[in-house]
Homo-oligomer: A and B are copies of this chain.
Amino acid sequence: MAEKITIYDIAAEAKVAPSTVSRVLTHHPNVSAKTREKVQAIINKYHFTPSLSAQALEQSRQSNKTIGVIIPEVTDHYSGKILCAADREARRLGYQTLLFQLPGNENYDMNDIVNQLIRRRLNGALYSGGVLEAMRPELPAALNRLMEYMPLVAISPPIAGVNCTFLHNDLETTMYHAVQHLYMLGHRRLAFIGGARDMRESGARTRGYLRAIQDLGLMDIPSFHGEGGFTPESGEIAVLRLFSETDEAHRPTAIVAFSDLVALGAMKQLNIMRLRVPQDVAIIGCDNTFFSQYTTPPLTTIDLYSEERARTAVNELVNCSQGSTPKPPFTLVRAPALIVRESCGVMLGRRENL
């Protein structure tokens, strides 16, 4: 590895002061064309790039061009979409993203994560911790502390006691519409699978689902909600119990899944049990993950516009970090869209905006 070259080395070779080299690098106007050319030649010769650490330390900028993205797990397709879009948008604006994956287990303190963010003095943080992490008792305090050091935008429903920008979806209404959709297709016995009812975000989904059930006078078949009930496995288990422990008259004709992932597991189990989708059981997912169009049959689902929200979040953070009138914290609600495919029996590719 070559010994690192600094602005002083460039200055020495060009026989000018370091300040002049800096002016060339920052495109400061007060440099004569002749000097600029001479210095630039040496910079090019060595492919010199100024150290971001040193720049970040310097008083007037105090920016390391970095946004922290807090997500549960990259391979969780929902989080992956957010990270992907956030990073692309950040790059477009000359920023980069530092990844903060939350430990999968319970044995961690959100304050440690927050400390790591603070230690780096980032330009902003994008929090999208998901349903499970939202239940941590230390979360609000930790996020509030984080906000004392950098702007924060959360892609999540509002968290009590946290006064940052929230970009979330009206999942309650969406779920209401999803049930309505199934109702119009003739379904009268429904089941909601995956997630746990007492959880905050799932709360909105469940609320919308139950409200629609009540308003339309439908039957809700209670179903088992596993521990970490957001995985394909929980979908498999739910279906297994739903169709093996009940008699014909108490089985749902349609399933509303907490997420596409849960729906995926459910469909696998339905297939094993020789129940056809949609003829025997209709199913609807949530997230519009890429694989939902490749299931057999293609899954009707709900698009949460996560990429769009990720881009909005990054823009907001970058604006704040560049000092432009820091908008007061706000909550933006976006109506998700029902993507009708074939898993509920309607053979249309059209998109209903709700």
| Chain B positions within 8 Å of A268 at CB level | 293-294, 296, 298
Complex Cα spacing A103 to B90, Å:
12
Q: Is A205 an interface residue (CB 8 A)?
A: no
Q: Which of A73-81, A183-191, A250-258 contacts B (4 or more CB under 8 A)?
A: A73-81
Least CB distance from A186 to B in Å reads: 25
Choice from B74, B147, B296 contacting A87 with Cβ under 8 Å: B74
Instruction: Name the residue of chain B whose CB is nearest to the CB of A111.
Output: B47
Mask of A154-171 contacts with B, CB within 8 angstroms, 1/0: 000000000000000000
Which candidate, A26-34, A112-120, A207-215, A328-336, is the interface stretch facing chain B? A112-120
B residues within 8 A CB of A97? 98-99
Q: A53-B57, A53-B64 are in contact. Are A75 and B119 (CB under 8 A)?
A: no
* Interface 1/0 per residue, A51-86 and B, CB below 8 Å: 111101100000010100000011101001101100
Q: Interface residue tally of chain A, by bracket? A: 35 or more
Task: Say if the beta carbon of A197 comes within 8 Å of chain B.
Answer: no
Question: Is the CB–CB distance between A84 and B75 below 8 Å?
Answer: yes
- Chain A residues at the B interface, C-beta cutoff of 8 Å: 1-2, 4, 47, 49-54, 56-57, 64, 66, 73-75, 77, 80-81, 83-84, 87-88, 91, 96-101, 103, 115-116, 118-121, 145, 147-151, 232, 264-265, 267-268, 271, 290-291, 293-296, 298
